[in-house]
Amino acid sequence: MADKEKSYSIIIAAGGTGGHIFPALAMANHFKKNGHNVVIAGTGNDLERKIFMQNDIEVEYFEAQKMKRKGLYFFSDPKIYQTLFRFLDKRGKIFSKDAKLIKFLVSFQPDLVLGMGGYPSINICSAVHGSLDTLVVIHEQNAKAGRANRYLALTAACGVIEGLPGAIGSITKFFTGDCQFLGNPVRQEIIDKRQCPRRFPDSTKSPRILILGGSQGASSINFSIPEMVSLLSKEIPVEIRHQTGNLDYSDIKKKYQELNISANVSEFFDDIAEAYHWADLVIARAGALTVSELSVLGLPSILIPYPKATDNHQFYNAKFLVDKNAAEMILDNDLEPEKLAQIAKSFFIEKNKLKKASMAAYDETFVEAKEKISDYCISIIEKGSYKDLQQIGGV
């Protein structure tokens, strides 16, 4: 059992995209609430600065390079990683030469670094392990482990946390230590909404559909939705909220107007928790964060995996809900307004389908994830050094 009276210094290495930023922020707030000294180490891109500046969390920004798919982090064979790691380590190229980063690490003296995946985590985790022998725990949000975490599992991690079932299976050939499924951390404002009574449409209420199309590669969703709504509305009156992202916003808003459809269209919903609570059905990509938030709220969904996701991980993320009959899945190549309308219609006309999907989607694992991840990290700190963990089979 972790000692909740002691205070530790923890770095959370994350950044790049919302799928890494929001779980990191959820964990940072949780650690801070429990009295720990926590800093998020990010890259300083526009999205990070926008999100982090709205929260009372200490953040430090450091240089991080994206790795090409044909580079070091693309390989799936651990022997290739081992060979390259030894080659680069001998030449001092693995560990950071960023003077700002080294100065920060020496000053902060972290007890543990929690890497949240993605390229921003590689430099921090490698630097603290290589320079300070600091404990590193990595968290994999997706059902298939990404290149960064596959690399760090082999070279730096003493513990691996699985956010969705399946990640451990794709990482065990790189890592023989402690792996646990603890779920993805979800923001508290979203968790709080689960206590509100779930509204289901009846003959007096129009079904409400929330579309989350505002992310990388989501144009195929954005441009299919207005026509889908037009077809669906001929049989069922529906209310629509559509997040488009900034690239497609003007075109999608114009398309709704041309079809004479009243819809709440926005580049970005500032209060996503309220938008989720408003909805009866969600249409979205199958990012790990989205899947986890749907699980917390018990929200039925139609998921359209991003076809260019590394190792097709969004397909496996979606399967987590599809296999529980909590969601329907359409592949991007099969995305047509007619098919989308037919599937959406089935949720509203088939007896109890919406309610059954909602009950199947709800998963307490993600409600408790922050607490479990925190306890796990503190227990790793209290077990001691890498050498101690090796002796007790923890790494």
Q: Residue ranges of the domains in the chain?
A: 9-187+366-391, 190-365
Average pLDDT, the chain: 87
* Residue 257 CB neighbours (<10 A): 13
Alpha helices in the chain (DSSP H): 18-33, 46-52, 78-90, 99-108, 120-127, 147-155, 188-192, 219-233, 249-258, 272-278, 288-297, 313-322, 337-349, 353-361, 364-367, 369-383, 386-391
- 91 pLDDT band, cuts 50/70/90, is very low
Side chain identity, residue 165:
P
CA distance 27 to 11: 11
CA distance 348 to 328: 13
pTM: 0.87
CA distance 259 to 107: 60
Can you tell me the mean pLDDT for 151-179? 85
CA distance 45 to 19: 14
CATH topology agreement for domains 9-187+366-391 and 190-365? yes
Query: Domain 9-187+366-391 class?
Result: alpha beta
Question: pLDDT of 54-77, one tens digit each?
Answer: 888 999 988 776 655 544 444 444
Local structure of residue 193 (DSSP, 8 states): G
Considering the four listed CATH numbers 3.90.1720.10, 1.20.810.10, 3.40.50.2000, 3.40.50.2300, the one that applies to the domain covering 190-365 is 3.40.50.2000
CA distance 228 to 302: 13
195 compared with 329, residue with greater pLDDT: 329
Please check the confidence at residue 36 and state whether its pLDDT lies above 90.
yes
256 compared with 68, residue with greater pLDDT: 256
- Tokens for 185? 């951390």
pLDDT score recorded for residue 304: 98
How open is the CA angle 256-248-347, to the nearest 5 degrees? 55
106 compared with 381, residue with greater pLDDT: 381
How open is the CA angle 222-144-32, to the nearest 5 degrees? 85
pLDDT score recorded for residue 85: 47
How open is the CA angle 88-93-94, to the nearest 5 degrees? 80
- 217 pLDDT band, cuts 50/70/90, is low
Can you tell me the mean pLDDT for 82-109? 64
